Amino acid sequence: MSTIDEDKEDVLVENNAQFIYQHIRSLENEIDKNGSRWFWELLQNAKDAKDTNTIEVTLEYNNSEVIFKHTGKEFTRKEILHLIYHGSTKKGDPTKTGKFGTGFMTTHLLSKKVDIKGKLMENDKCFEFTLDRTGNNSDELRETLEQSYKNFKDNSDYPYNPSLVYNTQFTYSINLTRTNLVENVINTLKLTIPFVLSSSEEISKLLIANKENIFSINRLGDVLLNPGSTIKEYKIKVQDENISILKLESVTDVEFDYNTEDGEKNAQEKIKLSVNVEVKDKKVLRINRKTPCIYYDFPLVTTDSFKFPAIINSLSFSPKTERDGIYLSVAKTYDVNKNKAIFKKAFDLFIQLLDGLIDNDFLNVHFLCELSKINIPEVDNDWFNNQLKDLIETFFEKKVLSNDEDIPIVLNTAFIPTNVSEELNDNYWQLIKVLFPKRVVKKELHKDWLSIINYWNEFEFDKFKFEITLSDVAKKIESEGNLQSFTNSFFDNDYDKAYIWLNNYYSIIKSIQQPHLFENYAIIVNQNGRFVKKEANLNTDAGIDENLKDILVLLNEDIRKNLIDIELSFPNITQKSQDDVFDRTLAKVIDIDQHFTEAEYKASKDMLSWLLFNSKIDKLENFPVSYANYIDGNRGIYRLSNKNTVLAPVENWEDIFRDYKDLFSDDFILNSDYKNIIKDYTIELEENGFIYAQPLYYEKHTFNQDDLKKVLSKKLDDEFWEREDENSTIIIPEVIVSKIPFFYSEDKSVLNNSRKANKRTSQLLEFITECVLVKDTKLFEEVQLQIYDQSVSIYPSFWVARIKNNRWVNTGKDKSEMATSTNLSDYFEKSQLLSEKLKDEKTAKFLNIIGVSVGDLTKNIYAKTDEEKFEWDKAYTSILSAGHNNQVTPEEVLGIFNDPALIEEIKKKRIEKTIVKNNRDIGLTVEDIFEQVINEELSQSNLNIKKEVVGRDFDIIEAVELENDFIDDKTGRENLLVVNDDKKKYAIELKSTRTDYIRMTKAQGQLSTDKKDAFALCVFNHSLDFENFRDEDGNIKESIKNEIKSNVRFVTNIGELLTEEVTKVKELDSQVAKTRTSNNDIDVDIEEGQIKYKVKENVWLYGLPLSEFIIVMKKIF
């Protein structure tokens, strides 16, 4: 029989066998959760085996087995027994991480048989045995445990080999179903081991031999981040790459309440914890969200579900038995509330670490902002998520991002474009970058921040201040008000860039199907450059002419406000066509009533220009225009119509017509403002009957009987027109005739105005003779027409018929007559132009057509009395009968008067006649003055004045000299003015000149020398204008008389001065063709037998004035 002690041991072994069997089964049932623990349990055991030196660990894997070995201190026999029978020798040891003794069992997920080698501390002997925990039940497992113990005892006395590097080795044979457990761990070691090495200073190196891939992770050392910093930098070499783990550690007190069976209690504990992040090249590296983030020196598996962006490490945590997390439930137990208190401290420490990174200019600190809600079973998720939300709010005032220039920005002052689809993110970022180049998140960080914001949205924040959505952009655009301000604010006035930006922005809105933005915000640019909302009347522009839009604006309809800027793309908005706008614009222009405003007037002109340019002349019916005359700014409206034609502006007329614009009422002439508008379209406008291009035009005309009678070149008797036989129907084809606009019938017509004033009659005659007769190609083109059975001819100039058959010649106040040679004569006489035109063949023919005899007209012009008319008739008769028996033809008469020599002679005779008349007038004037003076000065004497005819027939020199003797009008001989009394007389030769000399005849010279003491030369040197010689009554003007009285000079010694020259003349041969002698002041000219004494100005320049000559006369008499 066994003893109680033996029974106790048997029970303990059995209980352990049962626990191990059940525990391994439990681990296998949750292999996905526990499959990675094996490595960390072995590493923890290695760490706990540290003696004085740091430990190096090696992990080898070659598909069939896993070998884990380390340089830690030797095993004790107790530790071997705990391995075999379960349990822990570390309970209560604060330097040991292991607590529960169950961790090693997780390695059996690799294999239930483990070959263990090592050294025993007690005897410096080595051991090597297989720990076997196979078995289908606890009884079988008990047998394998006992066998493992026996195996250990039998193989624990090997001599120690000092050359061995590793004191402990675990070897697991791996079947194919377990290789993934090994590979999963090895694949994460590069991510997790650096944090382990920064926290567990007992381990310095880990060597991994993964099949043919061998790499190591070494802790190289640690330093403070910078002097004065509390952040420590651990330099880690992972394979050939150097990284750093930044660790901020704190030893602090925590206080918390918890519930017990006895009620709520309070606890205070000192804890140690650290927060760790990985960095490289001054950049924060992102924590892999699939790896644990809570460490109990080593990762607590499944804590990857917390997804915290830094490693929180504390041996003060109360972990779960299976090291798969910590107690953090809603229960208010000691362990739970202690862990919560530690977390609060950890979060504070995390913010301190973040501040340190920002202060030291680390990049990518935004990785530490990647907080997301948790939803973990058996965790107080609400409490934890509230802590995270508080952390997030702390980030708002931190410089956790940078712009494109790597300048850090406080989160709440930054802009992060959001609310678009992933494929549009880059495009959207570019748009926001343009608006806020210094405040928008760096492009490379944009995607990260979209993920962060997506995480944060789980916390149900109100909209983030830094988040800039399409709606935010819409508000910004709307606030600018107009495109100019928008372009100036964001594009340095580069409109091309602004349009590109807006089109991209609109495209994003359409792509993510948020059309409400167009309806809720004024973000669409209309054609006035204003931002407007999308409304029912907003249209796209299908190529509408800008001129039409301008015209509508002038008419108080701003179509551009309802049209989208043509540079912007809106394919789904209804188009407004040009035809729609044209119809609307034309209708509004035509609706203008009564008087133009200035805006309406411009609209009318612009619309007319548009219609002409776009070949829409057919739309001009009833179109409003302004005529030339308007009063007080009220522009009357004239409506174009092919039944209501108007003259083109005067400036568009041919030059030949323009001087006669006054013939036409301003009411019938387009305003000059239209001159450039219609100048290239006058032909088309005239062809369509809307304007007359010139005051003479041509059109097809169908004659009625009355019209026909008026244009016949030969009058037909009444019987001809009254025929009623079968051939009596008159069929007259259309004939192209010439017409003058507004010539007849209208109140303000040309003929009606002509009959009211002689000025208008004269103007009309000049217009016809100078312009119309020159330009009218139809006037003298007789057209043959067949009327009944007779061929007749007509003059196809309709205006001539009006002239011929209507009263238009003004003959006095309110009187007018049809044209006759009598009533036209005054007009042709008084107008130099008409006088000249009377010689023109076309004028004569025109007058003949209208029944006016040119001969009678000429006679009436030149013959004012019946006697003169009789003389003219005689002249005609003489000319016509000049051929005696051979009648003179008109051609011969015309030839006579077309002879230049004859015409020149006639002109010369006419000039002579004029000079003689003026000479006579001057002489009479001088005589009158002498008579007046002598009557006044010598009234007491017996002196008297008379004229004596002396000399020979007068001689006329070149007209330009204007030197003449005073010739008697009746005798044609010279007059001498003689002063005499009863006993003696004194002769005076009167001369006038415009030059610096006068001429005296041979007889005058001889007389002056014969009567030296009783002969004086009187010279009147002047520049009188003979056209203004007389006043309105035909009398010599007083001013002329005064000038003569002041300027005459008397040479009383002219006889002595001429004596020598007269003597020479007597000696000369009078037959010499031409001779000239001179004594300086007096020359003798002999031309063709005619002798003249040329007396120069010096002779009379110092002669006696009239007053002194009177004194001389008193002395003589």
**Exposure string (b/e) for 285-300, b if CB count within 10 Å is 16 or more?**
bebeeebbbbbbbbbb
- Is residue 328 within 8 A of residue 380, CB to CB? The reply is yes
DSSP string, 577-588: -HHHHHHHHHHH
Q: So what's the pLDDT on residue 411?
A: 95
pLDDT at residue 812, as a whole number: 86
Would you say residue 914 has pLDDT above 90? no
Mapped onto helix, strand or coil, the DSSP state of residue 338 is: helix
Cα gap 473→521, rounded to integer Å? 10
Ordered DSSP codes for 1055-1072: HHHHHHHHHHHHHS-TT-
E strand or H helix that includes residue 358: helix 334-359
The whole-number pLDDT of residue 952 equals 31
**Quick one: angle between helices 890-897 and 900-937, nearest 10?**
50
Residue 863: per-residue pLDDT: 80
Fold of 4-213: Heat Shock Protein 90 (3.30.565)
pLDDT digits 0-9 by tens, 179-189: 999 999 999 99
Where residue 899 falls among pLDDT bands split at 50, 70, 90? Answer: low
Q: What is d(CA 83, CA 99) in angstroms, rounded to the nearest whole number?
A: 14
Closest among 417, 405, 408, 427 to 449, alpha carbons compared: 417
> In Å, how far are 332, 594, 595, 598, 601 from 634, measured between CA atoms?
96, 9, 6, 9, 10
Q: What percent of the chain has pLDDT over 70?
A: 84
| 339, two tokens | 């862990």
pLDDT per position as a tens digit, 559-595: 999 999 999 988 788 999 999 999 999 999 999 987 8
Q: What is the mean pLDDT of residues 688-701?
A: 90
- Tokens 């604060």 identify what position? 94
pLDDT in the model for residue 1032: 77
Q: Is the pLDDT of residue 672 over 50?
A: yes
Tens-place pLDDT, residues 128-177: 999 999 999 989 989 998 999 999 999 988 888 877 888 899 999 999 88
Specify the amino acid at residue 794.
I
Residue 372 identity (one-letter amino acid): S
Is residue 777 within 8 A of residue 738, CB to CB? The reply is yes
Whether residue 23 contacts residue 105, with contact meaning beta carbons closer than 8 Å, is answered with yes
pLDDT at 958: 30
The pLDDT value recorded for residue 685 is 92
Cβ-Cβ contacts under 8 Å for 610 (sequence gap 6 or more): 545, 547, 548, 551, 616
Q: Output the DSSP codes for 166-229.
A: -SEEEEEE--GGGHHHHHHHHHHHHHHHHHHHHH-TTEEEEEEEETTEEEEEEEEEEEESSTT-
Find where tokens 């007359």 sit.
692
Residue 610: phi and psi, rounded to 5, are -65, -45
| Residue 772 DSSP class | I
Q: What percent of the chain has pLDDT over 90?
A: 45
Mean pLDDT confidence for 861-871: 75
Residue 99: its pLDDT value, please? 45
* Bridge partner list, 576: 541
For range 777-800, the mean pLDDT? 80
DSSP alpha helix (H) spans, 372-469: 381-395, 425-435, 443-456
Say yes or no to pLDDT of 959 above 70: no
Give the Cα separation of 844 and 861 in Å (integer): 15
Tokens for 319, please give them: 């972990």
Is residue 196 within 8 Å of 43, Cβ to Cβ?
yes
Residue 532 pLDDT more than 80? yes
> What does the longest C-alpha to C-alpha distance in the chain come to?
222
Record the tokens describing residue 590, joined without a space: 């035509």
Name the band, by pLDDT with cuts 50, 70 and 90, for residue 90: low
Answer whether residue 970 shows pLDDT above 50: no
Cβ 336 vs Cβ 303: under 8 Å: no
Is the pLDDT confidence value at 888 over 70? Answer: no
pLDDT at 97: 54
Closest CA to 998 of 1104, 1096, 1102: 1096
Q: What residues contact 368, with CB distance under 8 A and at least 6 apart? A: 277, 284, 309, 310, 350, 353, 354, 357, 400
Cβ neighbors of 185 (< 8 A, separation 6 or more) are 36, 38, 39
Q: What is the mean pLDDT of residues 312-320?
A: 94
Ramachandran bin of 922, using left for φ above 0, alpha for ψ from -120 to 50, beta for the remaining angles: alpha
Give the per-residue SS3 of 102-165: CHHHHHHHCCCEEEEEEEECCCCCEEEEEEECCCCCHHHHHHHHHHHHHHHHHCCCECCCCCCC
Whether residue 726 has pLDDT greater than 60: no
pLDDT at position 617: 94
Q: What is the structure's pLDDT at 100?
A: 42
Q: Which H or E run contains 1019?
A: strand 1015-1021
**Does residue 546 have a pLDDT over 80?**
yes
pLDDT of residue 1040: 77
pLDDT of residue 962: 36
Once rounded to an integer, what is the mean pLDDT over residues 765-770?
94
pLDDT value of residue 960 = 30
What is the spatial distance between Cα 1093 and Cα 1060, in angstroms, rounded to a whole number?
Answer: 12
Q: How far is CA 880 from the centre of its chain?
A: 81
Q: Are 55 and 201 in contact (CB under 8 A)?
A: no
d(CA 728, CA 954): 75
Q: What is the mean pLDDT of residues 506-512?
A: 90
DSSP collapsed to 3 states, 289-330: CCCCCEEECEECCCHHHHCCCCEEECCCCCECCCCCCECECC
Cα separation of the two ends of the chain? 215
Tell me the average pLDDT across 818-823: 92
Band (347; pLDDT cuts 50, 70, 90): very high
What confidence score (pLDDT) does residue 650 get?
94
The residues near 668 (Cβ < 8 Å, ≥ 6 apart) are 627, 646, 647, 741, 742, 746, 748
Q: What residue spans define the domains of the chain?
A: 4-213, 225-395, 469-569, 592-695, 698-862, 903-1116
Q: What is the pLDDT of residue 1116?
A: 79
Lowest mean pLDDT of 104-113, 1046-1055, 1106-1115, name the range.
1106-1115
**Tokens linked to 939:** 């009234």
Backbone dihedral angles phi then psi of residue 603, each to the nearest 5 degrees = -60, -45
**Do residues 539 and 580 lie in contact, with contact meaning Cβ atoms separated by under 8 Å?**
no
What is the DSSP annotation of 628-691?
S--BTTBEE-EEE-TTS-EEPPGGGS-HHHHTTGGGS-GGGBB-GGGHHHHTTTHHHHHHTTSE
Per DSSP, 415 falls in state: B
Write down the pLDDT at residue 951. Answer: 43
- What's the pLDDT score for residue 957? 28
Dist CA 545 CA 638 (whole Å): 26
The mean of the pLDDT values for the chain is 85
Residue type for 926, please?
A: V
Residues 414-424 have a mean pLDDT of 85
Please tell me the distance from the alpha carbon of residue 432 to that of residue 411, in angstroms, as a whole number.
16
pLDDT score, position 666: 87
Most confident of 880-894, 931-945, 1056-1070: 1056-1070
Please give the structure tokens belonging to residue 895.
């030839």
What would the mean pLDDT of 534-540 be, rounded to a whole number? Answer: 91
Structure-block tokens of residue 196: 């382990």
The helix/strand count (H/E) of the chain reads as: 38, 44
H/E element, 816: strand 815-817
- Comparing 368-372, 741-745, 792-796, the range with the smallest average pLDDT is 792-796
The residues near 102 (Cβ < 8 Å, ≥ 6 apart) are: 23, 86, 321, 322
User: What are the tokens at 160?
Assistant: 């120690």
Query: How far is 863 from 857, CA to CA, in rounded Å?
Result: 10
**Residue 1050 in this model has a pLDDT that exceeds 70:** yes
pLDDT at 628: 75
| For range 249-260, the mean pLDDT | 95
Given this model, what pLDDT does residue 794 score?
Answer: 79
